């Protein structure tokens, strides 16, 4: 039972992916989860995990499509033996705490493999909707594949581990606030019903996401940071509830070197995601923030 499921980072595309636009994902192996069993379930975390998995199992069996995909006999036997997911992936931080569980359940209990990655994403999204009310499936797909990839409406393109330019460094800055994905997704869905908002989002914001990804993958550093700064302003305009009040200055300030931040995951708390080409100046500029380098 020692297979590891790692956390994930959406470098770009958190909300634009809802329109089948491009997104860029990487595994984040700083945090991980793995199946364990303890019939006694004598630790609070073990008991809580087991109960959460039991609820997830009930959700899967009550869904007409999903109920035919899993070996519930084996699932129930493992739950009776004290199955739990030993995870240090922080909840509410946009790093895939529900994605790791979804991927782990599919990998262990699905009765058949799904080779078509877009179909797998759809199934995993239907599963993860148990936790968020709605899911694109991209988070658990990353946790399942454990490999960087770019995705759009045409499919998934797997990337090498070293696809990032060596002079662009990625970090996470802790806002100290837990995020709740579900109300943020619901907020965005409501905003999409506004025709003016939707048209502006698709014509002004979505291209910024694509430009960031294209320029990062091409190694065009200066153009990348210019696109990133434009994206940060777009997030303040279109996704303001997703930017915490205590991090808004990071979205507005230009410290005089290549630096930029954006929301991570659904936003609204958790980590802010940042990029820089100068680690030491960034550490000085971000003094007071708890930083994790990717």
pLDDT digits 0-9 by tens, 214-250: 999 999 999 999 999 999 999 999 999 999 999 999 9
C-beta neighbour count of 114 within 10 angstroms: 16
More confident residue, 275 or 188: 275
d(CA 4, CA 209): 30
129: left (phi over 0), alpha (psi -120 to 50) or beta: alpha
Banded model confidence at residue 253, pLDDT cuts 50, 70, 90: confident
Q: Mind listing the pLDDT tens digit for each residue in 164-210?
A: 999 999 999 999 888 887 788 889 889 989 999 999 999 999 999 99
Q: Return the closest-CA partner of residue 235 out of 266, 277, 194.
A: 266
Q: What is the pTM of this model?
A: 0.88
Residue ranges, comma separated, of all CATH 3.30.230.10 domains in the chain are 5-158
Q: Is domain 5-158 classified as CATH 3.90.850.10?
A: no
How far is Cα 199 from Cα 208, in angstroms, rounded to an integer? 14
Beta bridge partners of 173: 272, 291
- Which pLDDT band, with edges at 50, 70 and 90, does 213 fall under? very high
Q: Domain 169-293 is in which class?
A: alpha beta
Q: b vs e for 9-22, b when ≥16 Cβ sit within 10 Å of the residue's Cβ?
A: bbbbbbbbbbeebb
* pLDDT at residue 133 greater than cutoff 80: no
Q: Which of 4, 14, 46, 1 lies closest to 263 in space, CA to CA?
A: 14
Cα separation values, 56 from 9, 50, 234, Å: 23, 10, 36
């Amino acid at each position: 039972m020692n297979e590891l499921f790692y956390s994930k980072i959406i470098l770009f595309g958190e909300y634009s992916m809802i329109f089948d636009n491009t997104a860029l994902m990487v595994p984040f192996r700083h945090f991980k989860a793995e199946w364990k069993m303890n019939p006694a379930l004598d630790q609070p975390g073990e008991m809580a995990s087991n109960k959460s998995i039991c609820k997830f199992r009930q959700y899967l069996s009550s869904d007409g499509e999903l109920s035919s995909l899993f070996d519930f006999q084996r699932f129930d036997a493992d739950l009776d033996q004290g199955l739990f997911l030993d995870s240090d992936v922080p909840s509410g931080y946009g790093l895939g705490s529900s994605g790791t569980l979804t991927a782990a359940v599919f990998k262990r209990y699905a009765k058949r493999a799904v080779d078509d990655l877009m179909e797998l994403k759809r199934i995993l999204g239907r599963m993860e909707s148990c936790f968020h009310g709605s899911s694109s499936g991209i988070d658990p797909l990353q946790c399942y594949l454990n490999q960087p990839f770019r995705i759009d409406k045409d499919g998934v393109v797997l990337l090498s581990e070293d696809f990032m330019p060596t002079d662009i460094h990625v970090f996470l800055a802790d806002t100290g606030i837990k995020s709740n994905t579900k109300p943020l997704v619901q907020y965005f869905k409501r905003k999409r019903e506004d025709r003016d908002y939707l048209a502006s989002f698709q014509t002004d914001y979505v291209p910024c996401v694509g430009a960031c990804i294209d320029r990062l993958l091409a190694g065009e550093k200066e153009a990348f940071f210019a696109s990133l700064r434009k994206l940060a302003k777009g997030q303040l305009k279109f996704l303001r509830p997703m930017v915490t009040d205590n991090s808004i200055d990071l979205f507005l300030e230009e410290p005089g070197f290549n630096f930029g931040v954006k929301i991570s995951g659904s936003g609204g708390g958790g980590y802010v995601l940042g990029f820089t080409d100068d680690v030491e100046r960034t550490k000085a500029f971000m003094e007071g923030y708890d930083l994790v380098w990717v």
